[in-house]
Amino acid sequence: MKAPRRSIPENSSVLDLKNQLSPLDAAVRMQSMKAARKRILCIEPDRETADRVNQELTERNYAVSVPGDPEEALAQIARDTPDMVVAGMNLGSMSGLELLERVKTMRPRILPVPFLFLVAEADRQRQLDGSLGAGDYVTKPVDLDALTAAVASRLARRVRMETWPKRATLGKREVETLTWAARGKTSAEIAQILGLSKRTVDFHIDNARSKLGVATRIQAAIKAATAQLIEP
C-alpha cells in the first residue's frame, strides 16, 4: 500500500521543499526554480567590487556571470542575452557607455537590455555628463542595499518594456515628435526642428498619447521612453 502523498504548504521555503519532496521531485522543482532566475551579467574591472556585487546578487537568487573583459561581455550578450547588465564606467578597452552603445547595435537581433552602471562618487559628474538618469547608476563604494533595490527596479522596467510595445505601435512622426517632447522641446520648437507646422506636431503627439493610453504628453514621453519606443 502506497504511503499518502504529503501536502506542501504554500509558504514552504526551498529547504522545506527539498525535505518534503522525493529526490526526483526535488531535483525537478529546483531545476525549474533555477530556470526562472533572472540572469545578470556583471562587468567591473575592480575585482573586490565585482566579487561583492556577484556575491550579493547570487545570494538574492540572481544567476550572475562575470566576463573578464568587454569583448567577452559582448560575446556573452550576443550568445545568451541576459536580463540585465551591471557595468563599471571604465572597462579598459571601452567605457561602460560605449559597451551600452555596442549592445544597442545588436537590436533587433536581441531584446533591449537594461544597464545599471557602477560610478565612482568622485567622478560622478564628469563621467555621467547628463547621459544617465538617477535610476541608471549606483555610486561606488557600492551600497549593496541600494544596488539590489536598483536592480529590482530596472528589471521591473524591463517587464514593462516587453509588454507595452505589444500594445502600442508608434508611427515615424509620432516617434520623432515625442522624442523631442521628451527632450523638453515645445511644439513650436519641434515644428522648427522637423520642418512641420505646430498644428501637425500637436496632432502627432496627441496620436501617440492616445495610443499609449495616457492623459498628457509628459506621461506619454515617460511611458514611451521606459518601453524604449523612443530614446530621448
Q: What is the pLDDT of residues 20-78, one digit of tens each?
A: 444 444 443 444 344 468 999 999 999 999 999 999 999 999 999 999 899 999 999 99
pLDDT digits (tens, 9 = 90+) for 116-154: 999 887 665 555 555 555 568 888 889 999 999 999 988
Cell of 16: 522545506
Name the residue with higher pLDDT: 135 or 1.
135
Residue 27 pLDDT: 44
Burial of 136 (0-12, 13-18, 19+ CB in 10 A): middle
- Please give the backbone phi and psi of residue 51, each rounded to the nearest 5 degrees, phi first: -65, -40
- What confidence tier does 18 reach under pLDDT thresholds 50, 70, 90? very low
Q: What is the set of domains in the chain, with CATH numbers?
A: 35-164 (3.40.50.2300), 172-226 (1.10.10.10)
Average pLDDT score over residue span 163-169: 59
Tell me the pLDDT of the chain averaged across its residues.
79
Burial of 23 (0-12, 13-18, 19+ CB in 10 A): exposed
